[in-house]
């Protein structure tokens, strides 16, 4: 299997124009995906895990799952040994888990810049930005419908964000582009404005096909046929329903050996039982059925055990984020995913806050911390999420992206080398002394402490003189600085032209649709 | 040993006035101390723990600790078998740990309302408010020096905060009261405005004596001689120095069988090595020496293994909070404390933010989450801390106090009862259905999800119509509502008079001092 895209796709040895672009491009730090050198926090013991696993098998067998409007899927399930009644698929105990066994425990998603390729699974944690908001918000313009230019700006910010490993997918919904064509512009933006890995379209099987074809232009057809170059989000219509649009996209991707996150999307108490153990049971049943189905389509197709669960405010009916119940489910589902040997997706800088304020900070940090300790391997919504996912916030994007730094540092564990032990520092300084000037501190201080690039660390008086800015205002300044200094990563102009031609052809092929 | 204060101290059967006060008092929910039904997150393995423990013994033996201006302490150490050279105490390997063995693994701190008494140690987590800020801040008045009336308002808020188990100590420095007399007013405020447990004064041994005497008035002399009614904060002057003021207070409290938190106060890189393992070594050495000394003063005196560690911004020299290095130290020190069999103090809603904004939220939540999973038993600064501890914020007090709710819920673990499993709900609802109306949801929704009492959960449109308030503004409204509805808990007027008389006598005994 080829490990790097061939040179003809133009990242390195492309034409002279590409080489010239590369020479003048601003270089940004980009951290490699997190390698976890710490353990996980496990909230369930063996007895609890076994109980939930047994209950999930009961759900699959007795209650069953619905594959709606999808005769092909029903045929596949029947052939695999499930009992199909109408659209309901009853999966005998153990069958789904056996089918899941062909899914890889980890896989590489290639980026057009090989330095940005990521391994998903095992001890790695890959961070990707917010996905799906129809609105954007910034301090200047307030809350408004998202446009394609907003989308491009988020891709630019993501490209320049050191702790973000992935360009994501629908970082916001570009509502000014027809709904049946916007996927083309979105994928083009990811391909041309960033060199990080990205996600494909899932809103229609034909759009998944377009995504694959655009990747063939970018990476080369041979490379795509042998390598995973997209990770796409397949939401399950909880409870226990697999609709034909999402399954159609899954079928396209699995057949092309492209990765899918198989992810229940659950507001607890509405789309799942109101209890943690009940929700975990449903999550496991749904993921088992979805992953098994991907393996029926193509054994060995890369998949991720997804869990997006939030709780509900029973007073208002609003989904709530960063809550303890959601954390418990995140921890428990991580254990279930690891027992299945699958990469795990959950977490994100989730919040219900309307503004990037203290609520946003508390709720986002609650979930970010749980995701790290819960063993998440792929974290969507890691930055930019606001107002329950209705809004992508520019300021919160950079504030969250900055807070992903601590996850890297925490995951590195404790350095127990002789230098890490610091005994010579303790001997040199002694009781009542000061460590700032000692040799050990001087030799280590640059790497010793994670440091925010956006939050305020200045003395009160300096901060007050500079206008007494809150975090959102500091974020606003950072967004402007970043976008002003943005430069595109180099790309072979021939590839850009081919992508543009493909998009033009596809856009011309059907009338605009807006719903 | 008496388990509840005798009736003469007036909480229940006190005079008729107390009974009348009790009948008219507003009742507030107060959650019992957290009982952890989940495990801890351990960042070090056996090898790392043993290495740090061995290094700490080396520090105690070879480098030694300084007990400054304290001939009595040096005599105690000499008698115990340490080698004393000048003020330096070199503690032979293993001696400090052996001395620590007489310290109890858990103890009860009694409150004047027996329902508010707390167990400290084991699986419990007791939450106490911010300690020490010379400034206060609120949206109305901005940042200003703290006064006694601010102090009283924080005690009132703490009394009314459901998730706060402890009234704390110096919730802010009442700078309008002479420095040599303010401890009297502070302790009186805790005793009369709240019925939760509190902390004693440590700024001078005579003030510790005053604290004990006031407790004898409140609880009765006999009760205090046999029970722990205060937990006080003894900071170590890191690195490795035990000053005579703090040790003098410790001696008073230990002799009176009152609890002390023995706590290194460390800005990493300044007062300890710049590495995590080096700092953990120093923390352990300092706590071993301090706890051992308390046991030399009175074997069996209740103590807490304290760890207050923050990192430093090497650019500005400012301490930074909620950072990954501080979390690692928190996790590691918790393991070391549990191996010593001692209650553990760390954590808090720590932040460097100047305002209760997103930075405050991220940084506070980072530490609150680490403290829960790191096995903290006593958490000072659990609410109200702002600007690196220079400021006590009214709005952040109620925002943080609200965020302590999720710690309670998370600590309760996963309910695996038949009701918790929710299989009947899954069967009733089935694929594509909705859980909100099902019997299982109706029976469980009240207890199912933690719910904020201050953050905004409303739809965007409602929120916007109500003024588009951020978290700080919502906090401001909550502070006002709480203080307007505050009513003192009942207390026997005879006790109040005796306290006032004691304070008047002590204030008259010496001239005012302001530094």
The predicted structure's pLDDT at residue A218 = 98
In a domain, residue A167? The reply is no
Mean of per-residue pLDDT scores for chain B: 94
Return phi, psi of residue B431, to 5°.
Answer: -55, 130
The sign of the torsion formed by the CA atoms of B507, B510, B512, B514 equals negative
CA distance A45 to A39: 15
Taking CB atoms and an 8 Å cutoff, what residues of chain B touch A317?
A: 436
Question: Is the Cβ pair B325, A270 closer than 8 Å?
Answer: no
In a domain, residue A62? The reply is no
The predicted structure's pLDDT at residue B9 = 42
- Span A240-260, average pLDDT: 98
Return phi, psi of residue A284, to 5°.
Answer: -65, -45
pLDDT tens, position by position, A31-70: 999 999 999 999 999 999 999 999 999 999 999 999 999 9
The predicted structure's pLDDT at residue B16 = 57
Query: What 8-state DSSP symbol labels residue A265?
Result: E
Question: Is the Cβ pair B277, A239 closer than 8 Å?
Answer: no
Q: At A59, is the secondary structure helix, strand, or coil? A: helix
State which H helix or E strand residue B242 sits in. strand B241-242
CB A359 within 8 A of CB A353: yes
Assess whether pLDDT exceeds 60 at residue B6. no
Question: Is the Cβ pair A459, B318 closer than 8 Å?
Answer: yes
In a domain, residue A292? The reply is no
Q: Give the percent of chain A with pLDDT over 70.
A: 95
Question: Is the Cβ pair B273, A316 closer than 8 Å?
Answer: no
pLDDT band at A177 (very low <50, low <70, confident <90, very high): very high
Please tell me which of the candidates A276, A406, A414 has its beta carbon nearest to residue B43. A414
* Minimum Cα–Cα distance from B433: chain A residue: A239
pLDDT band at A10 (very low <50, low <70, confident <90, very high): very low
What ipTM was assigned to the predicted interfaces of this complex? 0.95
Question: Is the Cβ pair B460, A387 closer than 8 Å?
Answer: yes
User: Nearest-CA distance from A178 to chain B in Å?
Assistant: 26
Residues 6+ apart with CB under 8 A from B269: A435, A436, A441, A445, A448, A449, B311, B312, B314
Q: How far is CA B21 from CA A21, A470, B25, in A?
A: 79, 44, 6
In a domain, residue B431? The reply is yes
CA B205 from centre of chain: 21
User: Nearest-CA distance from A31 to chain B in Å?
Assistant: 16
CA distance B54 to B44: 14
pTM beyond cutoff 0.90:
yes
Q: Dig out the tokens for A363 from the structure.
A: 């709720």
Taking CB atoms and an 8 Å cutoff, what residues of chain B touch A41?
A: 39, 41, 373
pLDDT band at B346 (very low <50, low <70, confident <90, very high): very high
In a domain, residue A443? The reply is yes
Count of helix runs (H) and strand runs (E) in chain A: 19, 19
- Span A442-467, average pLDDT: 93
Taking CB atoms and an 8 Å cutoff, what residues of chain A touch B278?
A: 420-423, 425-426, 440
In a domain, residue B432? The reply is yes
State the residue for tokens 């904020």.
B452
CA distance A150 to A422: 48
The predicted structure's pLDDT at residue B29 = 87
In a domain, residue A433? The reply is yes
- Span B377-388, average pLDDT: 98
User: Nearest-CA distance from A258 to chain B in Å?
Assistant: 28
- Span B350-377, average pLDDT: 98
The sign of the torsion formed by the CA atoms of B215, B219, B220, B222 equals negative
Please tell me which of the candidates A366, A425, A449 has its beta carbon nearest to residue B314. A449
State the residue for tokens 């932040």.
B351
pLDDT band at A12 (very low <50, low <70, confident <90, very high): very low
Assess whether pLDDT exceeds 60 at residue A7. no
Question: Is the Cβ pair A273, B435 closer than 8 Å?
Answer: yes
Query: What 8-state DSSP symbol labels residue B110?
Result: P
Please tell me which of the candidates B44, B271, B328 has its beta carbon nearest to residue A410. B328
Q: Which of A11-25, A189-203, B450-464 has the lowest mean pLDDT?
A: A11-25
Please tell me which of the candidates B273, B416, B446 has its beta carbon nearest to residue A426. B273
For testing contact with chain A, the best of B327, B359, B374, B405 (most A CBs within 10 A): B359
Query: What 8-state DSSP symbol labels residue A458?
Result: S
pLDDT tens, position by position, B167-190: 999 999 999 999 999 999 999 999
Assess whether pLDDT exceeds 90 at residue A156. yes
CA distance A135 to A133: 5
Assess whether pLDDT exceeds 70 at residue B26. no
Please tell me which of the candidates A51, A272, A356 has its beta carbon nearest to residue B358. A356
The predicted structure's pLDDT at residue A212 = 98
pLDDT band at A16 (very low <50, low <70, confident <90, very high): low
CB B404 within 8 A of CB B157: no
Q: Dig out the tokens for B488 from the structure.
A: 């003192």
Assess whether pLDDT exceeds 70 at residue A18. no
For B514, other C-beta atoms within 10 Å of its C-beta total 9
The predicted structure's pLDDT at residue A314 = 83
In a domain, residue B437? The reply is yes
pLDDT band at B446 (very low <50, low <70, confident <90, very high): confident
Core vs surface per residue B348-364: b (16+ CB within 10 A) or e:
bbbbbbbbbbbbbbbbb
Question: Is the Cβ pair A332, B427 closer than 8 Å?
Answer: no
Report angle CA B382, B384, B385 to the nearest 5 degrees. 85
Domain count, chain B: 1
pLDDT band at B342 (very low <50, low <70, confident <90, very high): very high
CA distance B112 to B230: 11
Assess whether pLDDT exceeds 50 at residue B212. yes
For testing contact with chain B, the best of A74, A137, A317, A357 (most B CBs within 10 A): A357
CA distance B246 to B76: 16
Question: Is the Cβ pair A449, B55 closer than 8 Å?
Answer: no
pLDDT tens, position by position, A334-391: 999 999 999 999 999 999 999 999 999 999 999 999 999 999 999 999 999 999 999 9
* Minimum Cα–Cα distance from B459: chain A residue: A318
The predicted structure's pLDDT at residue B106 = 98
The predicted structure's pLDDT at residue B308 = 96
Question: Is the Cβ pair A275, B435 closer than 8 Å?
Answer: no
Assess whether pLDDT exceeds 70 at residue A14. no
Question: Is the Cβ pair A269, B311 closer than 8 Å?
Answer: no
User: Nearest-CA distance from A62 to chain B in Å?
Assistant: 9
For testing contact with chain B, the best of A358, A369, A416, A465 (most B CBs within 10 A): A358
Taking CB atoms and an 8 Å cutoff, what residues of chain A touch B56?
A: none
Question: What range does the domain containing B428 cover?
Answer: 418-448
The predicted structure's pLDDT at residue B330 = 98
Return phi, psi of residue B120, to 5°.
Answer: -115, 120
> If phi over 0 gives left and psi between -120 and 50 gives alpha, with beta otherwise, what is residue B428?
alpha
* Minimum Cα–Cα distance from B310: chain A residue: A449
Q: Dig out the tokens for A496 from the structure.
A: 């850009």
Assess whether pLDDT exceeds 50 at residue B373. yes
The predicted structure's pLDDT at residue B514 = 77
Please tell me which of the candidates A270, A358, A416 has its beta carbon nearest to residue B358. A358
pLDDT tens, position by position, A224-236: 999 999 999 999 9
Assess whether pLDDT exceeds 90 at residue B11. no
CA distance A140 to A476: 8
State which H helix or E strand residue A266 sits in. strand A259-267
* Minimum Cα–Cα distance from B390: chain A residue: A460
């Amino acid at each position: 299997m080829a490990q790097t895209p061939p040179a003809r796709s133009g990242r390195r040895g492309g034409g002279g124009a590409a080489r010239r672009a590369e020479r003048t491009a601003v270089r940004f730090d980009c951290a490699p995906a997190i390698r976890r050198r710490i353990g996980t926090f496990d909230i369930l013991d063996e007895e609890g895990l076994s109980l939930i696993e047994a209950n999930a098998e009961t759900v699959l067998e007795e209650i069953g799952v619905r594959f709606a409007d999808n005769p092909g899927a029903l045929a596949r399930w029947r052939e695999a040994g499930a009992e199909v009644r109408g659209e309901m698929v009853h999966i005998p105990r153990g069958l789904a888990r056996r089918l899941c066994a062909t899914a890889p425990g980890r896989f590489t998603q290639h980026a057009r810049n090989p330095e940005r390729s990521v391994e998903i699974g095992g001890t790695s944690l890959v961070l990707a930005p917010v996905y799906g908001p129809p609105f954007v918000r910034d301090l200047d313009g307030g809350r408004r419908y998202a446009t394609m230019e907003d989308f491009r700006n988020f891709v630019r910010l993501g490209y320049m964000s050191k702790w973000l490993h992935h360009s994501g997918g629908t970082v916001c919904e570009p509502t000014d582009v027809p709904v049946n064509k916007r996927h083309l512009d979105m994928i083009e933006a990811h391909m041309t404005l960033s060199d990080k890995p990205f996600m494909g379209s899932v809103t229609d099987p034909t759009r998944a096909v377009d995504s694959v074809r655009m990747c063939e232009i970018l990476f080369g057809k041979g490379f795509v046929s042998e390598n995973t170059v997209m990770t796409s989000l397949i939401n399950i219509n909880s409870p226990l329903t697999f609709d034909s649009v999402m399954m159609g996209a899954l079928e396209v991707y699995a057949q092309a050996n492209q990765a899918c996150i198989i992810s229940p999307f659950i507001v607890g108490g509405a789309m799942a039982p109101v209890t943690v153990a009940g929700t975990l049971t449903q999550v496991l049943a749904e993921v088992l059925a979805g992953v098994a189905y991907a393996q029926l389509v193509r054994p060995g197709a890369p998949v991720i055990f997804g869990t997006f669960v939030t709780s509900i405010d029973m007073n208002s009916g609003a989904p709530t984020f960063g809550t303890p119940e959601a954390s418990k489910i995140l921890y428990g589902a991580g254990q279930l995913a690891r027992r299945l040997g699958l990469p795990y997706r959950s977490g994100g800088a989730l919040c219900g806050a309307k503004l990037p304020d203290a609520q946003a900070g508390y709720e986002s940090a609650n979930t970010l911390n749980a995701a790290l300790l819960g063993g998440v391997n792929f974290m969507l919504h890691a930055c930019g999420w606001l107002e329950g996912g209705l809004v992508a916030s520019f300021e919160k994007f950079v504030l969250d992206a900055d807070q992903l730094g601590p996850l890297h540092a925490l995951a590195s564990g404790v350095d127990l080398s002789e230098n890490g032990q610091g005994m010579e520092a303790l001997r040199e300084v002694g009781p009542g002394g000061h460590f700032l000037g000692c040799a050990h501190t001087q030799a280590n201080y640059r790497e010793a402490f994670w440091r925010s690039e956006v939050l305020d660390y200045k003395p009160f008086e300096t901060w007050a003189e500079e206008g007494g800015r809150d975090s959102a205002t500091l974020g606003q300044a950072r967004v402007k600085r970043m976008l002003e200094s943005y430069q595109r990563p180099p790309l072979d102009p021939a590839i850009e032209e081919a992508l543009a031609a493909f998009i033009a052809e596809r856009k011309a092929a059907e009338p605009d649709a807006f719903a």
